[in-house]
Amino acid sequence: MGQIRKINDVYYIEFYARGLLYSQLAGDDIEEAQKLLERVEKKIAGGEALTIARHIDLPDFFERFLAEARGQHGPKSTARFDSTIKHFSTFLAKDFPQVLQLAQLTPAIIESYKAYLTKTQKAKIVNLTILLVRDILEFGIKLGFINDNPSLHVRLLPWPKAMARKPTARYEIARQLLPKATGLGKLAQLLKLPDISRAMYYADLIPLSRQEAYQ
């Protein structure tokens, strides 16, 4: 038995045939949506399932993804996915208005979206956005509406290298004193503990014998 779902002001019918989930746009009239669902169920009962095209419109798909995300992720992650979907949808409506279904998304469209992001965002934000889109589209494979994730064919931008921090004067003092077996008590009088910790982690310490260590 199928059902009718409303997304924004539009109705969709969903039903199973051949063990697969189908979704179909039914317009903005609930009665017409009900009639369409009855006609589809009659086709399935009459053995005409193969004549039904399997696709899912993007608003329906995104709504399903967010419902799934709310059950698997925290509020911050879900809000991040929601923001990405809204931004991506705005881009599609402006640059690719003919793309209305999930199966119409191609690597070229995702590549265009990456170029669009690059105009205003840093490389790190561009890459993170594309990775979020990748996770969203993977859900389409899970549902069985697509067989390939188009975003997997889009290369990320080179990740920016983090700038090396300039060592502080206290760090240099700790680096020089630690190999000389200076006690931590003495170091603590001269330095702050974070500087000692960093120096102990990064410095090449000279191994001490047990006798030297207790002097």
Domains of the chain, first to last? 3-51 (no CATH), 58-153 (1.10.150.130), 169-213 (no CATH)
Q: d(Cα 143, Cα 146) in Å, to the nearest integer?
A: 8
Residue 51 confidence (pLDDT): 47
Give 73's Cβ-side CA count (13 Å radius). Answer: 16
* 3-state SS track over 126-137: HHHHHHHHHHHH
What value does the mean pLDDT take over residues 164-173? 67
Listing DSSP states for 55-74 in one string gives B-BHHHHHHHHHHHHHHHS-
What value does the mean pLDDT take over residues 11-18? 72
pLDDT at 27 over 60: yes
Q: d(Cα 128, Cα 157) in Å, to the nearest integer?
A: 10
Quote the pTM value. 0.58
